[in-house]
Amino acid sequence: MRFSRWTLLWLALGIAIIAGVMIGTMRLSLADLVHGVIGVGEPMPIAVVRTLRLPRVLLAALVGAGLGAAGAALQGATRNRLAEPYLLGISGGAAVGAVLATALHTPIALVPVAGFVGALVAVALTLLVARASGGRGDARVVLMAGVVVGAFANSVIMVALANADASAVRGALWWMMGSVAEASWTQVRVLAIFVAIGIGALIAFGRAIDVLALGDDTAAGLGIDVARVTLGVYVVGALLAAGTVSAAGLVGFVGLLVPHLVRLAGARTHRAIIGAAALAGASLVVCADLIARVAMPPAELPLGAVTALIGVPFFLALLRRLA
Amino acid sequence: MFFIRRKERLSSRLHRANRIRLVAVCSLVIASACAREAAPKQSAITDDFGDTLVIGASPKRIVTLIPTTTEILYAIGAGPRVVGRTMYDVSPKEVLAVQDVGNGMRPNVEAILSTHPDLVVLYASTENRDAAHRLRASGVATAAYRTDHISDMARVTRVFGRLIGDTAAAERTVDSALATVDRVRKQTATLPHPKVFWPLWESPLLSVGGGSFLDELLVIAGAQNIFSELPQPSPQVTFEELLHRDPDLILTGEVTRARLLLDPRWRTLRAVQADRILVVDSTIMKGPSARIGASAVLLARLLHPGVKF
């Protein structure tokens, strides 16, 4: 990718973040934003910027970056353009964890933790199922195992919600549709470390993923341990997605859509694709969260619903181009 | 091909004929319903599903699928007739000994039938229409009501009174509850009405809305719900909107209060900074039951601690 395109990606993210902090129920000026960030002036704009908007916008950006990068790496490693991080059973597992926690009336703060644990269990289960069927490094087998684990998870959710009261069901559904409304600085810090390490690791796999595209035999001939690289990308991608899930619930379509967009924009090597997908994913989720906040006041739309609403027409247009 | 088209046309013509017939039948039904309203008969009542309740056959075995109606039945002395309740019923204490038939919404019809009821009381929402239909088909009378507002309490209590044949007890219950409510309303009329936020759920943030009896109860107890203009009973709201509306007081449970006081996001609210978070007894939130008067007093005491109610 050319230098100007990278500049454009960073610029888009910068504008999205500034717009995300400025626009909301209380419209803030650029001066309010600056005052809020440096912490001088009226207490109310400072509180809005520092406690409500900045953590929220940054968390959205991190979630988008993680999902975009994980999606790009998984699509590359599986050589399947429909692969996305949630397909490895993560969405189902995370939802089971969160829904069980909600149904059992655990403190709200523990719901994301339960979601994270659920996602990890599901990923482990997916890899075990794939291994038991003899296809450890086989992309198709792993994806199918993920689908099976996801279906199982769905049934567990339905059982758990069968007798739950209305508010608990609404809470669980809300969580499953994703949201960064309750973002805190602690979440931002933890996820930042998580996403930085994850994206770094995926970019390190970039060269190997490029070689995998030549076919397993050729890649093996060039000295690449195909099974190890595939497994490595799965595990890192899954951890990354699970981290985002614990912070914001399930934000669909980003991991699927964004890699296509950046390839279409001209990214060729996987280092570039993964990096660009992280940036574009971040911008997309920040914009989606902004829409979620201002579209239907005083209610808020679920973030995952907005990303899907934006993503589906995009994806249809893309399909037409591919066909 | 031609035949198929013709057949389609024929069938669409048939459909049209059916539709016209349906419209005719519907208008007849509506007309007769209007006529009924114009001249109410003493022996029949229609419930909120439009089903007819027969007066005279006093029910002996009642399954109640709304905690509010359970309390009302006990309040008018029909407690011994209750043979089934929902899993959420906890009040009055005696009801815990009654058979639990599970969820009140989309109820388990077989579990209900196993208690051999002659009347089933359910909440009149679309989710329960099918259950009501099945129960009626099995020969069990049903009474479906929306118990959302304080006026519903009076309405439903009076219907129950007529059904069980003790209208005096029903009137006593309604009068006593409404008299207390009126007394509290009069007492708080001259007091300042603080702006109150009453969250029902934290994630997503759900508020008490204008469609809830809790909104009415707040006005009676001398407060002003900041989301009162929203028509739903529990609308979802954004945190920023909450910050913007800047409540004087927050009503919540004990555990939530402790957490809100420590949460940096919630601490942006003036009410949280000044620890103006009142712990409200969750039993008053269950529904507009016969205890609505007591609930009004409880809430008024909480909101106006210096005043004697």
The amino acid occupying position B169 is A
Mean pLDDT of all residues in chain B? 85
Confidence at residue B18, expressed as pLDDT on a 0 to 100 scale: 55
- CB contacts, 8 Å: B87 with chain A: 163
Confidence at residue A1, expressed as pLDDT on a 0 to 100 scale: 57
Name the one residue in this structure whose structure tokens are 């402790």: B258
Confidence at residue A241, expressed as pLDDT on a 0 to 100 scale: 85
Averaged pLDDT, A195-202: 94
Query: Which one is predicted more confidently, A216 or A308?
Result: A308
Verify whether the Cβ–Cβ distance B243 to A52 is below 8 Å.
Answer: yes
Confidence at residue A136, expressed as pLDDT on a 0 to 100 scale: 57
The proportion of chain A whose per-residue pLDDT surpasses 90, expressed as a percent, equals: 25
Residue B250, burial from CB neighbour count under 10 angstroms (0-12, 13-18, 19+): buried
Listed in sequence order, the residues at least 6 apart from A298 whose beta carbon sits closer than 8 Å to its beta carbon are A25, B227, B230, B235, B237, B238, B241
pLDDT tens by residue, A237-291: 888 888 888 888 888 889 989 998 898 888 889 999 999 999 999 999 999 999 9
Q: Is the pLDDT of residue B6 over 50?
A: no
Confidence at residue B38, expressed as pLDDT on a 0 to 100 scale: 43
- CB contacts, 8 Å: A28 with chain B: none
Q: Are B76 and B166 in contact (CB under 8 A)?
A: yes
Verify whether the Cβ–Cβ distance A24 to B240 is below 8 Å.
Answer: yes
Confidence at residue A161, expressed as pLDDT on a 0 to 100 scale: 80
Q: Are A226 and A220 in contact (CB under 8 A)?
A: yes
Verify whether the Cβ–Cβ distance A51 to B267 is below 8 Å.
Answer: yes
Verify whether the Cβ–Cβ distance B268 to A51 is below 8 Å.
Answer: yes
pLDDT tens by residue, A55-82: 999 999 999 999 999 999 988 888 888 8
- CB contacts, 8 Å: A48 with chain B: 240, 243, 268
Confidence at residue A135, expressed as pLDDT on a 0 to 100 scale: 61
Q: Is the pLDDT of residue A88 over 80?
A: no
- Could you tell me which residues of chain A have a Cβ less than 8 Å from any Cβ in chain B? 24-26, 47-48, 51-52, 107-109, 111, 163, 165-167, 170-171, 174-175, 179, 181-182, 184-185, 293, 297-300
CA distance A305 to B228: 27
Verify whether the Cβ–Cβ distance B203 to A174 is below 8 Å.
Answer: yes
Confidence at residue A35, expressed as pLDDT on a 0 to 100 scale: 85
Indicate if the alpha-carbon torsion angle B215, B218, B222, B225 is positive or negative.
Answer: negative
Verify whether the Cβ–Cβ distance B203 to A175 is below 8 Å.
Answer: yes
- pLDDT-wise least confident of A8-17, A82-91, A215-224, B12-21: B12-21
Q: How confident is the model at residue A182 (pLDDT cuts 50, 70, 90)?
A: confident
Q: Is the pLDDT of residue A183 over 60?
A: yes
The proportion of chain A whose per-residue pLDDT surpasses 70, expressed as a percent, equals: 97
Confidence at residue B21, expressed as pLDDT on a 0 to 100 scale: 54
Averaged pLDDT, B68-96: 93
Q: Is the pLDDT of residue B134 over 70?
A: yes
- CB contacts, 8 Å: A26 with chain B: 240, 243-244
3-state secondary structure chain A: CCHHHHHHHHHHHHHHHHHHHHCCCCCCCHHHHHHHHHCCCCHHHHHHHHHHHHHHHHHHHHHHHHHHHHHHHHHHHHCCCCCCHHHHCHHHHHHHHHHHHHHCCCCCCHHHHHHHHHHHHHHHHHHHHHHHCCCCCCHHHHHHHHHHHHHHHHHHHHHHHCCCCHHHHHHHHHHHCCCCCCCCHHHHHHHHHHHHHHHHHHHHHHHHHHHHCCCHHHHHHCCCCHHHHHHHHHHHHHHHHHHHHHHHCCCCCHHHHHHHHHHHCCCCCHHHHHHHHHHHHHHHHHHHHHHHHHCCCCCCCCHHHHHHHHHHHHHHHHHHHHC
How many A×B Cβ pairs under 8 Å?
79
- CB contacts, 8 Å: B206 with chain A: 167, 170
Which residue among B205, B227, B244 places its CB closest to the CB of A26?
A: B244
Q: Is the pLDDT of residue A320 over 50?
A: yes
CA distance B57 to B113: 19
Query: Which one is predicted more confidently, A125 or A315?
Result: A125
pLDDT tens by residue, B31-46: 544 444 444 445 678 8
CA distance A268 to A213: 12
Angle between helices A54-78 and A270-294 (to 10 degrees): 140
Q: How confident is the model at residue B1 (pLDDT cuts 50, 70, 90)?
A: very low
pLDDT tens by residue, B209-229: 998 999 999 999 999 999 999
CA distance A180 to A160: 24
Q: How confident is the model at residue B163 (pLDDT cuts 50, 70, 90)?
A: very high
Does B63 lie at the interface with A, CB-CB under 8 angstroms? no
Q: Are A75 and A264 in contact (CB under 8 A)?
A: no
Mean pLDDT of all residues in chain A? 85
pLDDT tens by residue, B164-207: 999 999 999 999 999 999 999 999 999 999 999 999 888 788 99
pLDDT tens by residue, B137-160: 999 999 999 998 999 999 999 999
Q: Is the pLDDT of residue A47 over 60?
A: yes
